[in-house]
Structure 1
Amino acid sequence: MAKLNGILKIEGTLDNLTFYKSGDGHMVRTKGGVSKKRILNDPAFIRTRENGAEFGKSANAGKMLRMAVGPLVFKAKDAKLSSRLLQLMSKIKNLDTISLRGERNVAEGILTAEGQMALRGFDFNIQAPLQGVLFSPYTLDTVTGAVTIPDLNPSEQVRFPGGATHFSLRSAFVNLDFSSGVSSVTYSDVAVLAIDTTIATQTITPNGAPDGSATQLYLLLIEFYQEMNGIQYPLKNGAFNVLNILEVVKN
């Protein structure tokens, strides 16, 4: 695999070269020499098939998570979210010590303490991690999903981008079954706060508990705005927004 430089940017296949665009720019690679039919049927490629099956399961688990909290992910994500989630889900899948090789999956891996720990603290926008934006302790009620930030002083405890005049807080309480993809989510109301020295305790509580009895996820979203003539405008399409998984609990 090589990166393509120059003014001519093309996509497609030419002779034995494949040109394509990725998150890292325009790339070029040589065309593979092993046929798909042989990989699917030749006993020599059994490990390849097993790895491919588990790769697909991990990719699907990442998609399940993105879909479960889609409205929030749309507001706070980075360009490599899918690949980062795939890497994380593959790590969780490896914690499945029950399934046969080729059948290991995230649904089993997330049952372990290590699997839950791996997902806990995940930032959907690596450019704006929670620990680099919110400098205040908080508490989480895993029964109600309420997030409480005591005595928050926005101007001193929130790292805000230039031009921001306000920010908002919103929490989500998710129940996600990684084996079926079935999910349920409840959200809190949006709390909009001015970036000033006003000190107040902020509590954001989802409107009830979600249905289901699978993996419970608790998320916090922080969005930034600029107020102009009484209207609050999102900053730079969410590039500075935070979305973090605060806690993971197997119900």
Structure 2
Amino acid sequence: MKKKKTPLTRKRVLTNPVFELTRQNNTEFSRAVTANRLLHHAFIPGLRNMAHRYVSGRLTKIMFKILQSDQVNGRGERRVPQGVLSILEGFNFNRDTSLQNVFRTHYSAILDRDSMRVTISIPSLIPKAMIDTASGANAFMLTAMAASLHFEKENYSVEPVQTDLLDISLDLHENLQLHMPVIGHQPDNKVVAALGIEFFHKLQGTIEPVAKVHNALAVIKVF
């Protein structure tokens, strides 16, 4: 059968007023993809021991939602930095294991703008009661990061901070604090803080990581 030639061309899509809505959607979707890629790359140091398949699609969806919340610019011109970035809070990089489910304790994150340092504080932690040990682990480590990002210039800086290996069998860890310097920060940058937990088997002097699927990393605060 002879193939019919379509009247639809790339030039027509790019110039015809009929496709204005399509062009606007494509432009904004591209911005959401760029924002996803930037944040994903910024937190790669905390993702090396995490299962994070499909994170790109889920994160792009969140970024597009943030972009749509921009009340400053009109359709087609909306941007992630002008949106409600707090929508990111609670996002888990591991689709199958959420920080909220495995690390059930109170914590807070504050930004000291004079010293440009984010501090995550955990006043009281009873691991046996507050940490999900379905993985069979008997030890854990916390990882924290505070990324300074410029979504439009597509640059970021981040310096991960980790605790020592902590024993799940201990009754109480008091006043745990993770201090993260916000390096290379500029006035137009946003600061995104994340907290993660990794699990280990500690036995007779050896330390073995558990399967990556049990570890978690989540955005906990956007400044």
What interval of TM-score do these two structures reach, taking the shorter chain for normalisation?
A: 0.7 to 0.9
* Residue pair 1:172, 1:206 contacting (<8 A) in 2 also: no
Match of 2:179 among 206, 224, 228: 206
- For 2:26, give the aligned amino acid: G
Distance of aligned partners of 1:233 and 1:116 in 2 relative to their CA distance in 1, 3 Å threshold: same
Q: 2:103 aligns with which of 129, 134, 139?
A: 134
Q: Secondary structure at the match of 1:124?
A: coil
- Which segments of structure 1 move beyond 3 Å, counting only runs of 4 or more? 32-38
Distance 1:107 1:33, change over 3 A: farther
Name the CA shift for 1:240/1:162 in 2 (closer, same or farther; >3 Å).
Answer: closer
Deviates more, 1:126-135 or 1:184-193: 184-193
Tell me if the contact between 1:120 and 1:246 (Cα under 8 Å) persists in the aligned partners: yes
Shift of 1:57: 0.6
Q: Are residues 83 and 204 of structure 1, via their aligned partners in 2, closer, same or farther at CA, if it must alter by over 3 Å?
A: same
1:166 aligns with 2:139: yes
Structure 2 residue runs without a partner (length 5+): none
Partner Cα separation in structure 2 for residue 176 and residue 95 of structure 1 = 19
CA distance in 2, matches of 1:207, 1:134: 20
By relative contact order (CA 8 Å, sep 6+), the higher-ranking structure is 2
Give the deviation of 1:202 after TM superposition. Answer: 4.7
Q: Does 1:116 find its partner at 2:85? A: yes
Give the Cα–Cα distance (whole angstroms) in 2 for the partners of residues 118 and 187 of structure 1: 23
Q: What percent identity do the matched residue pairs reach?
A: 28
What is the CA–CA distance in structure 2 between the aligned matches of 1:71 and 1:172, rounded to whole Å?
9
Compare 57-66 and 37-46 and name the one that shifted more. 37-46
Change (3 A) 1:198 1:103: same
Q: Cα distance, 1:37 vs. partner?
A: 4.3
Instruction: Quote the offset at 1:148 in angstroms.
Output: 2.0
Distance 2:91 2:135 in 1: 25
TM-score by length of structure 1 reads: 0.77
Q: Runs of 5+ in structure 1 lacking a partner? A: 1-15, 17-31, 110-114
The answer as to whether partners of 1:189 and 1:204 remain within 8 angstroms in 2 is no
**How many Å separate the matches in 1 of 2:141 and 2:19?**
52
Structure 2 SS opposite 1:163: coil
Aligned length, in residue pairs: 213
CA shift, 1:209, in A, is 2.8
Q: Tell me the alpha carbon deviations over residues 87-131 of structure 1, each in whole angstroms, 9 at most, x when there is no partner.
A: 11111101222223222110221xxxxx13211121111321122
Equivalent in the alignment of 2:214: 240
Q: 2:118 aligns with which of 145, 149, 153?
A: 145
- Report SS of the residue matched to 2:40: helix
TM-score by length of 2: 0.86
Deviation at 1:43, TM superposition (A): 2.8
Kindly provide the amino acid, as one letter, of the partner of residue 93 in structure 2: F
Amino acid at match of 2:168: I
**SS across alignment from 1:89:** helix
